[in-house]
Structure 1
Amino acid sequence: MPLRHLAPRDQHLFHRYGFGPAVPVPDPLIHHAVERQAAAAPHAVAAEHLGARITYGELDRYADALAARLIRRGVRPGDHVGLFVRRSVPMLVGILGILKAGAAYVPQDIGLAPASQLAHVIRAARTRVVITVAEHAHRVPLPPGHHLIALDEPLPYVPGPRTAAPGPAPDVRVHPDDGCYVLFTSGTTGRPNGVKVTHRNVANILLTAPGDLGIRPGDRVAQLLNIAFDMAAWEILGCLAHGATLVIRGKDIAAAARRADVVIATPTVLSGVDPATCPRVRTVAVAGEPCPRPLADRWARQATFYNCCGPTETTIVNTMRRHEVSSRTLTIGRPTPNNTVYVLDPDLRPLPIGEVGEMWAGGACVSAGYLDNDRLNAERYAPDPFLGAGHRMFRTRDLGRWTPDGELEHLGRTDDQVKVRGFRVELDSVSSVLESVEGCRRAVTLKRDARTLVSFVTPADVDPDTARRAVADALPYYCVPESVMALTYLPETDRGKIDKAALLRLAEERTAVSR
């Protein structure tokens, strides 16, 4: 018995806290949920972008046409189809058309991804067909024998030489364990790793509460994130599966947020939006990186605010918590429906409640794994001894512990738990203290070398000496950063997260200037 070493109370709480509710999923195929919305309200607006609109009926018909074209090109269930587009309405036709053909879509932002990355994605995902728009077709590094399908712009669609006229829906048998999308995450080898996520994975989080975010017909959902980031699937498929209108942003993120009822973002992206200008927003969900308490409190004062956690490999998020300003701590909550979370020691044994360990995720969220990477699959996926029956669990590399009342506290990454002067330091704990300083909205702490830490805070008028003293007053001396740099903003990656490499370069540049 894997719990024998625990006291009876901890054995009981292991199941009570770590197992999400068992609930039915309305449809294990996510595109079927979108098709139902199209049948129920064909004239409802599915999406809008820079003045262009498409209704659910139009989206469904043109996706059927694209699916038929893909099938004629030899695409079959289980295949992967590249979707190399910019944020747009054709992007939605591409997603739904690929799913209707039974394939998994492999998204890349054609405007941001370098040619070498696109070539790697085509090769690693074994995509024989890539979809883009005519404007960007020349940027796709297509190998010989592969096919390119260009969707026409602008909208509304007019059947032309590159767009088949709408026809009957393709009759394709898709299994819930077939791929829905393949996303490429950063890898230690310098090449991103492809993660295959199934329909069953996606439907479980998007079609059950609270992952459905209460989205209903008539709502407006902001689409702010890069299509190659898994949280974009939450925005896009989460919206369309529930009959709402997707507000696809242009260059102005805040403008799209102001017109929306529901906003899904990383904390970095959300920090650039002023809640005072968004009275319409009623629900906000953040994930992808630790959320600063001041940001969570600011939004929770006017909207339902969810702090969430989960890597790509566990399908968008696998824990959620509705945060209240009055909450004692900002936690990541509990497992979402049909999912589990275990806090384990290095020997994969459950730890008593309150002890810090590594979080492993189980249940319906666990993805199909990495493409053609047996070594990494063996390292990060393992048989689940707690669910048994062929289930697998995933090593998140996140540190956490259960609070006495059954909430998960996220304590950083295993690779964020660094050694400085021989002492173990959790970088997020340093940043958390900095964010408690009056006026500080965001803080990031990084290991600079074997002996020093460096911290960055926003906005620029935060007093660095006051911030550094706050850490010295709260934490041991080896946790105190050598310097605190106050910045107007923190640099971002193209996926809306803090660009830590850019911050370290900035620290080096400032040190060189001061010498």
Structure 2
Amino acid sequence: MTISDTRAEFPPVCTHELFERQVARTPDAVALSFGTRQVSYRELNERANKVAHHLRERGVGPNVLVGVCLERSPEMVVALLGVWKAGGAYVPLDPTYPPERLSFMIGDAGTRWLLTEEKCRPVLGSLSAEAIYLDSGWPLLEHQAHDNPAPVAHPSHLAYVMYTSGSTGRPKGAMIVHSGLVNYLWWAIQAYAVGPGHRVPVHSSVSFDLTVTSLYTPLMAGGTVELLPEDAGAQNLVAALQRTGGHGLVKITPSHLELLSKQVNPIHVPGMARVFVVGGENLLAESLQLWRDLAPDTRIINEYGPTETVVGCCVHEVRPEDPTSGPVPIGRPIANTSLYVLDPSLRPVPPGEMGELYIGGAGVARGYLNRPELTAERFLPDPFSDVPGATMYKTGDLSRYRADGILEYLGRIDDQVKIRGYRVELGEIEAALAAQPKVWSCAVLAREDESGAKQLLAYVVARDDARPDAGELRSFLKERIPGYMVPAHFVFMDALPLTPNGKVDRKALPPWTGETAGAEKGGKPRTQTEQALAAIWCDLLKRDSVGVDDDFFDLGGDSMSGIGLLIQIKSTFGVDLELAGLFDHLRLSTLATAIDTLALEKIPSGSGDGSSEREPSNYP
């Protein structure tokens, strides 16, 4: 085990107090941009103060949880800061989550108040929490004082509770305190050189801790947060980076980086960003080649860290001499952080040997909300710390130290996986799938496709020969778990293989062969466009065939494969579609019709060859 001395000073304040200090320094600087709308530090602070005074009148104070269910907008940031300024802690609630999941999170957190907007009303249903609408209800807040409320929270109090997938079938909320968050942000501002004038895009959900880096480092350092509109993939991020360039910090997952590499015009690569911070998934050096070749001055940093230890606790900056293939190391600990590689008896293993990674230091969460047994299992007394009462987090990640003290990530011990940066417990998906009345038993695995991307694969044994189809199962799951947790493919079996002790033998589960369950919906493709489009679908979705009434997303497509579909449509047919437009044409036949229409619009009028009356046959 290698233990580095990472001790460093950081302000003994709450997170919002760092923001208030910045407001005093640069009140008229632009804090937020959202389309054509710009919000100064002064305006953002005053609007957050009004929310804070309103919440405090309702009894919000230290360790009191307030739900925040808002799409990306200035109002979302106003809400988050307002909760902190009132002294409370927020629970981020993604409006795209199924109502059942949102209801569970609100009930589990015991939130009495919910900051939201009218457009979120349908997904919130009938909740016990009191909804405070920051759009239609703003007149009720307008009369509140605009000055900073007197501070009541302490750095040891909760900043937020963020829910992650749970192996028992229900999400679990990690309790993050202000001191741990401030330690990370204070370190990140310096390590990533974030300062006045730097623009940082925010393109991910506030329920994803990747957003913490993008949102708060610029606000604490005088930069500008560029809030990007909601989209199904990362198209708004790609557009923003190509449109303006010169971003200070861009926080993305490896999946986002791959999409960016496929879509970006190479002439825009140099100067697009000063720093790419990549986190959430295992990073491969192969995916960095474009940036290392064309933008050698852009810093690329691999950041590792579970939600339970505040976003990031370990980093490695890619150097010119680093290998161009294979996994990128996760590096060395950040300030006030200890990383231990231990054997099952909690003894350090020598450099070069594999062990489980444990994390100690300032960023370790308080534990899981309302889960004392799980907290005791994952948050252990830190025997290597001289701080009384210090704990270390048991990550479940396998790792090893190299001889030079750099840490390498080697995979998971348990059934937890990362899908597009989101942490997913396979047990939660299995529990949701098992609740489907036609399912007798099931198992879920994550398999890598030819490109190295992970896809979820569900194995299903039907009840009493009443086999559901994949679309029925997918629709059932979409009502209960987030879309990124819904399996891409379903394999129907007569029985699941078992080990001698009666457990599911996951190693004996067969690979998915790409066979379509049942006949193609609507029959086989007929026109040339449908046939060419079907071939693209089969290639992307790894299927033998598709029908004209099949739905791309019901067949296992997602926002990432949707981007690939748009790229191939442009290459094959010479037409441009937006990802949002793809959702308007989910069936193969309707998408083919849209392609034909766009192709005809490109043919000059009056050409005299009758091309406007025939089916397009030659694609650019």
**TM-score interval for Structure 1 and Structure 2 normalised by the shorter chain:** 0.7 to 0.9
Q: 2:370 aligns to what SS in structure 1?
A: coil
Match of 1:378 in 2: 376
Q: Does the 8 A contact of 1:69 with 1:164 survive in 2?
A: no
Does the aligned pair in 1 maintain the 2:189–2:217 contact within 8 Å? Answer: no
Deviations 1:426-447 (A, max 9, x none): xxxxxxxxxxxxxxxxxxxxxx
Aligned-pair CA distance for 1:27:
4.5
Q: 1:141 to 1:177 in 2, by over 3 A?
A: farther
For the residue of structure 2 that corresponds to 1:415, the secondary structure is: coil
Q: For residue 237 of structure 2, what is the aligned residue in structure 1?
A: 253
Pairwise CA RMSD? 2.9
User: Alpha-carbon deviations, 1:375-433, whole Å to 9, x = none?
Assistant: 11111110000004210000011110001111001011113699xxxxxxxxxxxxxxx
Question: 1:135 & 1:417 partners in 2: Cα distance?
Answer: 33
CA distance in 2, matches of 1:164, 1:134: 21
**Local SS of the residue matching 1:241:** helix
Contact 1:151–1:163 (CA under 8 A) maintained in structure 2: no
1:297-333 CA-to-partner distances (Å, cap 9, x unmatched) read: 4334521111011110011011011112421472101
Is the CA contact 1:150–1:162 (under 8 Å) kept in the aligned structure 2? no
**Who is 2:204 aligned against?**
225
Corresponding position of 2:522: none
Q: Which sits farther off after the overlay, 44-53 or 176-185?
A: 44-53
In the alignment, which residue of structure 2 is the partner of 1:327? Answer: 322
Compared with structure 1, are the counterparts of its residues 417 and 261 closer, same or farther at alpha carbon in structure 2 (3 Å cutoff)? closer
Q: 1:136 to 1:272 in 2, by over 3 A?
A: same
| Among 97, 117, 120, the residue aligned to 1:133 | 117
- How far has the Cα of 1:33 moved from its partner? 1.1
1:457 correspondence with 2:440: no
**AA at the equivalent of 1:323:** V
Segments of 5+ residues of structure 2 without an aligned counterpart are 418-441, 454-480, 493-510, 517-542, 546-620
In the superposition, relative to structure 1, how do residues 42 and 417 fare at CA in structure 2: closer, same or farther (>3 Å)?
closer
Equivalence map 1:52-67=2 (5 Å)? 52-67=37-52
Task: Give the aligned partner of residue 343 of structure 2.
Answer: 345
Equivalent residue number for residue 489 of structure 1: none
Per the alignment, do residues 85 and 367 of structure 1 end up closer, same or farther by CA in structure 2, a change over 3 Å counting?
same
Q: Which residue of 2 aligns with 1:476?
A: none
Post-superposition Cα deviations, 1:444-493, rounded to whole Å, max 9, x if no partner, equal xxxxx99x995413399xxxxxxxxxxxxxxxxxxxxxxxxxxxxxxxxx
Corresponding residue of 1:501:
487
Q: How many residues align?
A: 429
Amino acid in structure 1 at the alignment position of 2:165: S
SS of alignment partner, residue 261 of structure 1:
strand
2:133 matched to 1:150? yes
Instruction: State the match for 1:473 in structure 2.
Output: none
CA contact (8 A) 1:137 1:150 kept: no
Shift, 1:216, TM fit: 0.2
- What is the rounded CA distance, in whole Å, between the counterparts of 1:50 and 1:86 in structure 2? 14
The CA distance in 2 between the partners of 1:400 and 1:414, in whole Å, is: 10
Contact 2:199-2:223 at 8 Å conserved across structures: yes
Q: What residue in structure 2 maps to residue 403 of structure 1?
A: 402
- Is 2:100 aligned against 1:113? no
User: Quick one: which of 50, 55, 74 aligns to 2:35?
Assistant: 50
Amino acid at match of 1:357: G
How far does residue 54 in structure 1 lie from its aligned partner after superposition? 0.8
CA distance in 1, matches of 2:341, 2:183: 22
8 Å contact kept, 1:222–1:247: yes
User: What are the superposed Cα offsets for residues 79-126 of structure 1, whole Å, 9 maximum, x if unpaired?
Assistant: 01000011111110001100101111111121x111111111111111
Cα distance in 1 between the residues matched to 2:377 and 2:188: 31
Which residue number in structure 2 is paired with residue 265 of structure 1?
Answer: 252
Contact 1:209 1:337 in 2 (8 A): no
Between the aligned residues of both structures, percent identity stands at: 33
2:515 to 502, 508, 511: 511
Give 3-state SS (helix, strand or coil) of 1:458's partner: coil
Could you tell me how far 1:225 is from its partner in structure 2?
1.1
The AA in structure 2 aligned to 1:510 is G
- What is the TM-score with the length of structure 1 in the denominator? 0.77
Counterpart of 1:391, as a letter, is A
Q: Which residue of 2 aligns with 1:314?
A: 309
Q: Which has the higher contact order (CA 8 A, sep 6+)?
A: 1
Structure 2 CA distance for aligned equivalents of residues 313 and 504 of structure 1: 32
Counterpart Cα distance in 2 of 1:108 and 1:72:
23
Counterparts of 2:219 and 2:116, CA distance in 1: 21
Mean alpha-carbon deviation: is it higher for 373-382 or for 132-141? 132-141
Distance 1:453 1:135 in 2: 34
Say yes or no: does 1:29 pair with 2:14.
yes
| Alignment CA distance shift 1:356-1:151 (3 Å) | same
How far did 1:337 drift? 0.6
Distance 2:122 2:482 in 1: 27
Distance 1:21 1:121, change over 3 A: same
Please give the secondary structure, in 2, of the residue aligned with 1:501.
Answer: coil
Secondary structure of the equivalent of 2:78?
helix
What secondary structure is seen at the aligned counterpart in 1 of 2:56? helix
Q: Which residue of 2 aligns with 1:285?
A: 277
Q: Does 2:10 align with 1:18?
A: no
Question: How far apart are the structure 2 equivalents of 1:204 and 1:116?
Answer: 35
Query: Normalised by the size of structure 2, how large is the TM-score?
Result: 0.65
CA distance in structure 2 between the partners assigned to 1:246 and 1:496 by the alignment? 26
Residue in structure 2 matching 1:205, options 179, 184, 194: 184
Among 3, 25, 39, which residue is 1:40 paired with? 25
- 8 Å contact 1:268–1:498 — kept in the other structure? no
Of the three residues 364, 367, 370, the one matched with 2:365 is: 367
Deviation at 1:292, TM superposition (A): 1.7
Q: Which residue of 1 aligns with 2:66?
A: 81
Residue ranges of structure 1 left out of the alignment (5+ in a row): 1-13, 419-448, 461-494
SS of 2:174's partner is strand
Inter-partner Cα distance in structure 1 for 2:54 and 2:36 = 28
Structure-2 residue corresponding to 1:235:
214
Q: Which moved more, 1:96-105 or 1:127-136?
A: 127-136
2:34/2:74 contact within 8 Å kept? yes
SS of equivalent residue, structure 1 residue 203: helix
Q: Choose from 148, 162, 168 the match for 1:189.
A: 168
Structure 1's 164 and 84: CA in aligned 2 closer, same or farther, altered over 3 A? farther
For residue 235 of structure 1, report the CA deviation from its aligned partner: 1.0
Residue equivalent to 2:194: 215
> For each residue in 1:46-71, what CA deviation from the matched residue of structure 2 results, as whole angstroms up to 9, or x when unmatched?
11112222110000000000000001
State the secondary structure of the residue aligned to 1:105: strand
**In structure 2, the residue corresponding to 1:54 is in which secondary structure?**
strand
- Is residue 269–residue 497 contact of structure 1 (8 Å, CA) maintained in 2? no
Structure 1 residue 500: Cα displacement:
8.4
Aligned equivalent of 1:91:
76
Change in 2 beyond 3 A, CA 1:68/1:498: closer
Distance change (3 Å), C-alpha of 1:500 and 1:362? farther
Q: Residues 312 and 300 of structure 1: is their aligned pair in 2 closer, same or farther, counting only changes over 3 Å?
A: farther
| Counterpart-to-counterpart distance in 2, 1:187 and 1:61 | 38
- SS of corresponding position for 2:22: helix
1:295 equivalent in alignment to 2:287: yes
Report the AA paired with residue 151 of structure 1. Answer: L
Q: Once the 2 structures are TM-superposed, how far is the Cα of residue 509 of structure 1 from its aligned partner?
A: 6.7
Question: 8 Å contact 2:52–2:86 — kept in the other structure?
Answer: yes
2:9 & 2:30 partners in 1: Cα distance?
28
Matches of 2:276 and 2:31, distance apart in 1: 20
